Structure 1
Amino acid sequence: MTPYLRIAATVANAFPGGDGTFPDSVEAYRSNYLKMDCINVPKSVPAWTFNWQRGKMVSNTLSDTNPVNVGERMIIDPNGSLHFLWVEMSDNGYIYVCETKNEIILMDVRNSHTMKLNVQSGTERDRPPELKYSSDVTVMAEDTAELTCIFTYYSSRG
């Protein structure tokens, strides 16, 4: 007989706590690094996959939400944190909220904790490079591997 494992159930609860009406206010200077944490993540097997939504607050309700486009400037790490390698004035005034999805039962869960990003122009000096995230890599002898890193470096001089 061939042994097998069947997953009978998983946990997929809404984000606990934090049902505040107004978002936390996060201030950042243009061109600075910023990280937003996805907090109170519910437990799940397998682990949640993450995405972030951004929108505007209208009559105490988050509306006009759209997914955050990750790329050269914004990255979501496996823990769900949203990294702005640098912020721009166009980010000003948006409300950000973390969402998760369970791949087994295909359930979307939105965090009740929201954050408003206020971006200001400033004369701050460029930040030195810092390694923020790097996944563990196992490499067999004579094989090659690809390592993905996130740096918080942005130069106003390009």
Structure 2
Amino acid sequence: MNIILTSAAINAAGKGQSSYCKFLSAADCGDGGDPEAGIHLSQSALYMFFTIRELRECFRRPVISKDIPMLWQRTIKAFGRITWDERRKDLCFRICGSGVPFLRPEYTGALLVMVKDADGVFENFVFNTDDEIQEFLGTFGMTPAETGRPIKMI
């Protein structure tokens, strides 16, 4: 278990503007072979990425997207593209560029934690062991069934 990384994620989630976690599916990890695939997030995370003003654009065009800065595991900088499709009610983000090794089939079932900090940068953490996942979820009083939505601070 990576205690330092788990502690960093817990600390970031406690201090961040908003946080979200979900278990990565096979489709999220590229098992479908679709180069345009991305990580699908629940609609409950919508306001973590878009302002009400940005969402009003959906009246004129049903699909909106923007780039967001990301920091993975505290070491890997990358940009992501978050897209909201109003017609399909689909929120999806794709990682732009290379160097982020977490979206491969061996990470299916891993816990993805996304934390938006005060500067609008998303700190992302991926935990792939039971001990790391339990440590993170237990700190916030969550069960695996309570993932796939923003994290409520207790």
Q: Decide: shared fold, TM above 0.5.
A: no
Bigger Rg over Cα: 1
TM-score by length of 2: 0.29
TM-score by length of 1: 0.29
More strand by share: 1
Identify which of structures 1 and 2 has the higher relative contact order when contacts are C-alpha pairs closer than 8 Å and 6+ apart: 2
More helix by share: 2
